[in-house]
Chain A
Amino acid sequence: MSALGGVVRSGVGRRRVQTVVVGLVVMIAVTVAVLGGSLMVAARAPFDRAFSQQHGAHLTAQFDGARAMAAQLSASARVAGVAAAAGPFPTATITPASGRGGPVQPITVVGRAGPGGPVDAVTVTEGRWATGPGEIVLQADHRLPRRLQPQVGDALPLSGPAGGQTLTVVGVARSVSETAGGWVVPEQVAALTAPGATAGYQMLYRLAESDTAAQIESGRAAIEASVPAGALAGARSWLTTRTNSAGSVVLFVPFLIAFGVLGVLMAVLIIGNVIAGAVSTGTYRIGILKALGFTPQQVVRAYTAQALVPAAVGAVLGVVAGNLLVVPVLAQTNEVHGTTDTGVTPWVDLLVLAGALALVTATAWAAASRAGRLRTVEVLAVGRTPSPGRGQWAARLAARLPLPRAVTLGLAQPFARVLRSATVVAAIAFGAAAATFAVGLGVSLNAVQATESDGDVVIFPGRPISGPPPEGAPTVAPGPPQPPDPVAVVEAITAQPGTSGYRGVAPTELTTAGLTSALQTLAFTGDDSAHGYQMISGNWFSRPGEIVVSRPFLTATGTRVGDSLVLTDHGTPIDVRIVGEVFNVESRGMQVLTAAETLAATQPDLRALEYHITLTPGTDPVGYVKALNAALASVEATAEVAEEESDEILLVVNALTGLLTLLLVTVAALGVLNMVVLQTRERVHDLGVHKALGMTPRQTIGMVIASVVVTGLVGGAVGVPVGVIMQRVTVAEMGHAAGFNLPASVIDIYHPAELVLLALGGLLIAVLGALLPAGWAARTRTATALRTE
């Protein structure tokens, strides 16, 4: 082994703590960077990624089967500008009963022999593809709670033209292009088509140029021209689908960017600090090496290599750990998008690996070069202790504090190495900022979810089901649930002790000029209709003819609070006035909220499907529900304690936030650990003197812990405002990305006492980082410490 190799090897082995810290910090930093980078790539355009993976359809065209033959449609695949096509697939419209309380609405089923193909390669997420008549694969619908979605094995009775038939759900699949509500085998479609009618056809096209609406329209026109006149019944652009599907997914991007930036900054800071510290404590040894004949270049190479060995090991482990963490996190987003993405992005791995090693090399080289330039005699003279004069003013001031002497000795120590302490303050500040941001983000997201409150108790239509259904009985009850008798329900609610207020909720659909989709509308009865809703501006409705809507609705209709609007209910116009903007994410912000009386003329029989009850404080919900169900014995309705369903996206965000915060806080604590180790090593002789003069192990621990108190407090005090700013900017950006104005209850979520506690979190990080070296310092043998030069 060469002399240089020997120095590197002995350096790595001799300074085990710093070797381990360098390896760990680089590992964690790389883990965060890989995780953040991979998720940012994955979340940057999740729809685009999923669309690309499935070879999504740029144009989904519906043809009238009576006006075009299948062969003519097949020929349209050769139209100029069409890059690939699939179909024609026969189509029909069916109306299945969901049976699980979900909405009964017509869906388009497409006859496809399999999920694959050159366009719209559908991903089967549960069960299998349909292989014979009587089977259906449903499009996954993440807008509905899982309990309302039909499940694999459910039998779906059909109403409408195909009434009397039953389809068994054999699979759930996800078409990013949203080309169908369900898929059956092609030969099944004829049976689902109304007698005397001709099944339609669906063609799926990928266009050579598809980035703009104009390009899509050009492709559509070319295809329309290639088929008989009037054959093209409708076509949907992928751009429309992409806009609609963005929904909650875009919420990921701002917070991942925030964590990504935080992670990279911390990585730079900690790696720089650790390596510079490692070289700094090796200055005396460098002097000895130079005295023995090592050239400055050899010294620089030796110390850079000493840093790179553990850094390289840590970086490789970090890449592995980052990818291992990406996989389960993306599994949840895969479910949402129907993708099969592992999240492992080789170029991100390579970029992070190369970046981390380049950073380590640059930092170590810079620090080692500084030592290499020093004259040998100066290097030997510098040794490992701070030059006298540094921090003496702090020691003088601290000595006057009315605290135990061991503590005041510790309090002054950071001022002996101001630059190093400043970098550790920054590391702690980033850790505190991450924790503050994470807490704030979680509270904000929970506040968003709180706006979807159904009160304390919910009354659903139907009788409670106890035990498994009898053998042979259909798993799904036919027909949609029927609203319970409102008079009886309201009587039972109002007579029940503990009732604070209630609202009856009658869902229906209205339309308005300019919007092609139906508007989900909730018509309320009762005295507590506004429960849980957060107003952005204006007021809650107080009389018939007034509506409350969200920002996306106002944007889509070009209206403002105070404007009048005409809604259409079964062809009958209803004049309404927008009296308030509410924060309501339901129906992607397109939901209309109004009093039931607004629809009295057009839907006189409209009844509330559910009732949401608010209890007086101190009322036991379980006892209340039991008593209420007894009172509802003669009514087709069941009361249940309201359960807050956790949105999957929120769960992913919360899990990810917790994980990233934990990693960043660990990095910050390791930064402190490294600083205290350096400090302890530099002052080990002084430590021996202290102990020789009677400092007990407990006092030694107190001194070392006290040495990080100032950095911890300052770091916390700096980090908390940074975290608050990050939370405000990120949450507002998330709201903006989703098209909402956010209420103050979602943004202004920190209380002063919480901010103080979070600032003390900086101190906690510092103390955690100092505990281990404090223990070492306490156990260091006095005689050994005194012998150390």
Chain B
Amino acid sequence: MSAPVIELDDVSRRYDEGPPALDAVSLRIAAGESVAILGPSGSGKSTLLNLVAGLDRPSGGTVTVAGVRVDELGEAGSARYRRAKIGMVFQFFNLLDDLTVADNVMLPAQLAGMARGTARRRAMELLGTLGVDRHATAYPGRLSGGERQRVAVARALVNRPALLLADEPTGALDTASGEEVRHLFNDLHAEGQTIVLVTHDLNLARSCATRTVQLVDGRVAADSTVEPVR
């Protein structure tokens, strides 16, 4: 087995006085794996994703991603870590409405200091790969849900991240668009991209993930390898 990309050791996250959102979770995800984090609402899925993305800090334990102790990073360090190591895909796409599709995709690269021309070439390449290059100069509001999520995936990949995190990537899509996205993630995984999906969508988990982690009340209730349904 490859060296782990993600290592969570005894990670807990508490908010105020309530029960812990995550409670002593330990998890290792190897490079090239595609892991689906499953569980009901409030089980801690998004919290786990936020901790891995460096959007939040654990109350206890350590989070290491691609050799970086994410739990020790400050705000600036977290930002640099995200742009270097992480690509994120959100349920509601989170594309910026006042930027064109191409500008949306280029943004993380430009924030990382890539020259505009280079970033544009990289963005167009990705948009072409994902089949939405004809919308490069359009604004996100004019695209269908599936197309928007493809653009979001292109944006997530523009900096060639070690890890792609996806939070309910089909949650806001109709069936046909959801199917498009499932295929997309399958293709990415086939190309060796390490993926962590948080989803309610069992179909997505079955079709894209090689492993599922079931969270219940902030704890790992099950961790199993699955054979993806293609």
Contact = CB atoms under 8 A, between A and B. Distances in A.
Interface of A: 385-386, 388-392, 395-396, 399-400, 402, 404-406, 412, 416, 685-686, 688-699, 778-779, 781-783, 786
Contact of B141 (A386, A388, A694): A388
B75 A697 contact: yes
Given A412-B98, A783-B50, A694 B111 contact: yes
5 contacts: A392-B98, A404-B110, A688-B94, A697-B79, A786-B55
Contacts of B80: 694, 696
Contacts, number: 84
B96 interface: yes
B99 A399 contact: yes
Contacts of B83: 693-694
Contacts of A391: 98
B94 A783 contact: no
Interface string B69-94: 00000011011101110001010001
B97 interface: yes
A779 B79 CA distance: 12
Given A689-B94, A783-B55, A697 B50 contact: no
Nearest to B141: A388
B103 interface: yes
A695 B103 contact: no
A406 B53 CA distance: 21
Decide if the interface of chain B is mainly helix, strand, loop or mixed: helix
A389 B100 CA distance: 11
A692 B55 contact: yes
Contact of B139 (A392, A400, A778): A392
Contacts of A782: 55, 78
Contact of B107 (A389, A396, A405, A685): A405
Contacts of B139: 388-389, 392
A691 B79 contact: yes
Nearest to B113: A404
Given A399-B99, A693-B82, A405 B111 contact: yes
B75 A695 contact: no
A697 B76 contact: yes
A694 B159 CA distance: 10
Contact of A692 (B76, B88, B141): B88
Given A399-B99, A778-B75, A693 B111 contact: yes
Interface in B133-150: 139, 141
Decide if the interface of chain A is mainly helix, strand, loop or mixed: helix
Residue with the highest number of chain B CB atoms closer than 10 Å, among A391, A692, A699: A692
Contact of B98 (A402, A416, A695, A778): A416
B99 A695 contact: no
B53 A696 contact: no
Contacts of A699: 79, 111
B82 A694 contact: yes
B148 to A, nearest CB: 13
A696 B100 CA distance: 22
A57 B199 CA distance: 94
Contacts of B107: 405, 690, 693
A508 B56 CA distance: 86
Residue with the highest number of chain A CB atoms closer than 10 Å, among B88, B103, B107, B111: B111
A396 B100 contact: yes
Nearest to A699: B111
Nearest to A789: B92
A399 B96 CA distance: 13
B55 A405 contact: no
B79 A786 contact: no
Nearest to A406: B111
Contacts of A400: 116
Contacts of A689: 94, 96
B218 interface: no
A389 B99 CA distance: 10
Nearest to B74: A697
A693 B53 CA distance: 10
Contacts of A390: 98
Contact of B108 (A396, A694, A781): A694
Contact of A696 (B55, B79, B99, B141): B79
B94 A694 contact: no
B79 A695 contact: yes
Contacts of B94: 685, 688-689, 692, 786
Contact of A783 (B56, B79, B112): B56
B155 interface: yes
Interface string B94-138: 101111100100011011100010000000000000000000000
Nearest to B103: A399
Contacts of A404: 110
Contacts of A688: 94
Contacts of B75: 696-697, 778-779
Contacts of A416: 98
Residue with the highest number of chain B CB atoms closer than 10 Å, among A386, A691, A699: A691
A692 B53 contact: yes
B205 to A, nearest CB: 23
Contacts of A692: 53, 55, 82, 88, 90, 94
Contacts of A778: 75
Shortest beta-carbon contacts, A-B, top 6: A694-B83, A405-B110, A696-B79, A783-B55, A388-B97, A693-B108
Interface string B44-55: 000000100101
A694 B109 CA distance: 9
A746 to B, nearest CB: 51
Contact of A698 (B55, B76, B159): B76
A685 B94 CA distance: 8
B14 to A, nearest CB: 15
A778 to B, nearest CB: 7
Residue with the highest number of chain B CB atoms closer than 10 Å, among A388, A692, A694: A694
Nearest to A778: B75
A599 to B, nearest CB: 81
Interface in B13-52: 50
A694 B55 contact: no
Contacts of A392: 98, 139
A781 B97 CA distance: 21
Nearest to B95: A689
Given A388-B139, A781-B55, A783-B50, 4 more contacts: A694-B82, A694-B108, A695-B79, A779-B75
